[in-house]
C-alpha cells in the first residue's frame, strides 16, 4: 500500500510538472497570454535601479500603464546579484516578461538561449529600428548577427574636475588637461593630507581600466573574437595605472576609499564633497551636482589621452538594455513596452523623458528633438557626453559570450595591481589565461 501511495504521488507530480511546462514554454503570447478578469495583460518587469532612479522608473511604468489600458506592467527592483536571480528564475520556468540590465550580459545570455532573439518582433513592427539607432547602439545589442536587446538609454564617460580647487592651488580652471601627461602633472598639486598624514583629498587616482582603455587604443579581443588581454596598448594603460602606486601609498589610498564607503550614488559621490578633484563618471552625475552641490564650480572634459598615439574624444560606451527571456509569458506585450521605452517613432516624448534620468538617447533622432536640445543647452557640459556617440574613438565591450566574466577578471587584475600585489604584465597574462579557459568551456 505504501508503494502504491508513493506511485500515485509521483504520477501526480509528473502530471503537474507536465502542465507547468506546457504553460511556460514557447515565445508567442498567443499561446501563453493570460489575462486578468478585466482583460488586462499583466507584464512582469525586472530592473536593477535603486534610490532616486527607482522612483523615476516607477513613474515611467505608471505613465505606460495609463497610456496602454490593455497592459499593466508591474515593476520590481532586483537588489543584489540580479544576474543569478534572473538565470535561476529563467531555468525554473518562471522568468519576468522583460528585464533591464547592463549590456555585458547580452552575449552570454544569448549564447545560453536564456533570452529571445528580437528579429521577429523588429521585422514585424519596427523594421527601421537598427538604422534609427546610433550604429554603436545596435552593435552592442546584437550577437551573431541578430539583435537580442534594445536600450532606452545609453551611457558614455567623461572627466569631471573641480574648478574651485584649481583656483585654490593656482591652476587655470579654464585650461584643464588634454593629455595624460598634463593630467599627471596637474593632479599631483591637488592632493591634501590631514594632520595625521592621512589622505584628506585626492587629486586623481586611475580607476576603471576598461573606461580608460579607449584613450590608449586598447584591444581586448580581435575581429575573430580571440582574447587579446596582453595587447601592448592594454599593457600601456595598466602600467600608467601602476605608476600611481609608486607615487602614492596604496594602503593610505585604500583607507581613504574605505572611508568614502562602497555606495557612492546620488548625494554620497565623493566629488560633491570635494574629496576628489578629478573623477570619471557618466552624464547622470550632472543631476547630482545640480541637486546636491549647486554652488560647486566644475568642468567636464573628454578623457585625456597619451601624447604618443593616444585617442582623443574616447570613451567606453554602454547602456541600459531590455531583453525578453525565453519562456516569458507575455513577450508581445513586453515588446510593446520595450519599443515605448526606447522612443522609437515617439522621439518627442523620449526627448522630454530621458532628461529626467540624465540619460543619453539611443537614437540621434531623439537627440535632435527640441526637448533634448533644450536639455543640453541648459547645462552645456551635457554636450560633451552626447557628442561622444559621434566619435570614432568610442569602444564597446567585446561581443563575446564571456563578456561579463572578462570584465570581472579585468577588474580583479586592476585591483591586484593597484594594491601592489601584482605587476601589470603578470596581471594581464593571468587574465589572458583565465578568459581563454572560460572561452573553451563555452565552445
In contact, 238 and 213? CB cutoff 8 Å: no
pLDDT at residue 23, as a whole number: 36
Pairwise CA distance, residues 255 & 187, whole Å: 20
Pairwise CA distance, residues 332 & 278, whole Å: 45
> What φ, ψ does residue 389 adopt, rounded to 5°?
-75, -5
DSSP annotation of 393: T
Cell 584649481, located at residue: 166
What are the cell numbers at 366? Answer: 531623439
Question: Can you give the pTM of this predicted structure?
Answer: 0.83
Residue 6 has pLDDT above 80, yes or no: no
Measure Cα distances from 108 to 83, 223, 313, 403 in Å. Answer: 11, 18, 29, 7
CA dihedral 48, 53, 57, 59 (to 10 degrees): 160
Which residues are CB-neighbours of 352 under 8 A, at least 6 positions away?
371, 372
Tell me which of 36 and 141 has the higher pLDDT.
141
DSSP for 115-173, please give it: B---HHHHHHH-TTHHHHS-HHHHHHTEETTEE--EEEEEE-EEEEEEHHHHHHHT--T
pLDDT at residue 7, as a whole number: 38
Q: What is the pLDDT of residues 15-38, one digit of tens each?
A: 333 333 333 333 333 434 455 557
Residue 371 has pLDDT above 90, yes or no: yes
Average pLDDT over every residue of 406-414:
96
Residue 141 has pLDDT above 90, yes or no: yes
pLDDT at residue 28, as a whole number: 38
Q: Exposed, middle or buried: residue 146 (CB in 10 Å: 0-12, 13-18, 19+)? A: middle
Average pLDDT over every residue of 229-250:
96
Average pLDDT over every residue of 37-50:
90
Residue 357 has pLDDT above 90, yes or no: no
Q: Exposed, middle or buried: residue 185 (CB in 10 Å: 0-12, 13-18, 19+)? A: exposed
pLDDT at residue 415, as a whole number: 95
DSSP annotation of 27: S
pLDDT at residue 5, as a whole number: 42
Tell me which of 194 and 5 has the higher pLDDT.
194
Pairwise CA distance, residues 147 & 105, whole Å: 13
Q: What is the pLDDT of residues 88-128, one digit of tens each?
A: 999 899 999 999 998 889 999 999 999 999 999 999 999 99
Longest dimension (CA), the chain: 92
Q: What is the pLDDT of residues 59-92, one digit of tens each?
A: 999 999 999 999 999 999 997 888 899 999 998 9
pLDDT at residue 21, as a whole number: 39
DSSP-based three-state secondary structure for 74: strand
Average pLDDT over every residue of 373-382:
95
Amino acid at each position: 500500500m505504501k508503494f502504491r501511495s508513493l506511485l500515485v504521488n509521483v504520477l501526480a507530480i509528473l502530471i503537474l510538472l507536465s502542465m507547468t511546462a506546457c504553460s511556460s514554454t514557447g515565445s508567442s503570447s498567443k499561446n501563453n497570454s493570460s489575462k486578468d478578469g478585466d482583460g488586462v495583460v499583466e507584464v512582469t518587469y525586472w530592473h536593477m535601479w535603486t534610490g532616486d532612479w527607482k522612483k523615476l522608473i516607477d513613474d515611467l511604468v505608471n505613465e505606460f500603464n495609463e497610456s496602454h489600458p490593455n497592459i499593466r506592467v508591474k515593476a520590481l527592483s532586483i537588489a543584489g546579484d540580479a544576474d543569478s536571480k534572473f538565470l535561476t528564475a529563467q531555468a525554473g520556468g518562471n522568468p519576468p516578461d522583460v528585464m533591464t540590465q547592463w549590456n555585458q550580459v547580452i552575449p552570454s545570455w544569448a549564447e545560453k538561449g536564456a533570452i529571445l532573439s528580437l528579429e521577429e518582433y523588429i521585422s514585424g513592427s519596427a523594421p527601421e529600428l537598427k538604422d534609427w539607432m546610433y550604429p554603436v547602439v545596435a552593435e552592442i545589442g546584437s550577437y551573431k548577427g541578430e539583435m537580442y536587446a534594445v536600450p532606452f538609454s545609453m551611457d558614455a564617460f567623461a572627466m569631471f574636475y573641480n574648478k574651485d580647487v584649481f583656483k585654490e592651488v593656482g591652476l587655470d580652471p579654464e585650461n584643464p588637461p588634454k593629455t595624460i601627461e598634463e593630467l599627471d602633472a596637474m593632479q599631483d598639486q591637488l592632493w591634501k593630507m590631514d594632520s595625521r598624514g592621512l589622505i584628506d583629498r585626492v587629486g586623481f587616482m586611475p580607476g576603471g581600466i576598461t573606461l580608460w582603455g579607449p584613450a590608449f587604443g586598447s584591444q581586448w579581443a580581435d575581429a575573430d573574437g580571440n582574447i587579446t588581454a596582453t595587447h601592448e596598448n592594454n599593457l600601456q594603460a595598466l602600467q600608467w595605472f601602476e605608476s600611481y602606486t609608486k607615487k602614492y601609498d596604496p594602503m593610505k589610498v585604500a583607507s581613504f576609499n574605505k572611508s568614502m564607503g562602497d555606495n557612492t550614488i546620488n548625494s554620497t559621490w565623493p566629488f560633491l564633497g570635494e574629496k576628489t578633484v578629478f573623477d570619471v563618471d557618466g552624464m547622470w552625475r550632472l543631476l547630482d551636482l545640480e541637486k546636491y552641490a549647486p554652488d560647486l564650480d566644475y568642468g567636464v572634459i573628454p578623457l585625456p589621452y597619451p601624447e604618443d598615439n593616444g585617442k582623443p574624444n574616447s570613451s567606453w560606451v554602454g547602456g541600459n538594455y531590455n531583453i525578453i527571456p525565453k519562456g516569458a509569458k507575455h513577450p508581445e506585450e513586453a515588446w510593446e513596452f520595450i519599443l515605448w521605452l526606447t522612443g522609437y517613432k515617439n522621439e518627442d516624448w523620449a526627448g522630454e523623458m530621458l532628461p529626467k534620468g540624465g540619460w543619453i538617447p539611443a537614437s540621434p533622432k531623439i537627440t535632435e528633438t527640441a526637448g533634448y536640445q533644450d536639455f543640453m543647452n541648459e547645462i552645456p557640459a551635457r554636450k560633451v557626453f552626447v557628442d561622444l556617440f559621434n566619435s570614432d574613438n568610442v569602444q564597446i565591450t567585446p561581443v563575446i559570450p564571456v563578456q561579463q566574466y572578462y570584465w570581472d577578471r579585468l577588474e580583479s587584475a586592476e585591483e591586484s595591481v593597484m594594491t601592489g600585489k601584482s605587476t601589470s604584465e603578470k596581471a594581464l597574462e593571468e587574465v589572458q589565461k583565465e578568459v581563454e579557459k572560460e572561452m573553451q568551456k563555452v565552445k
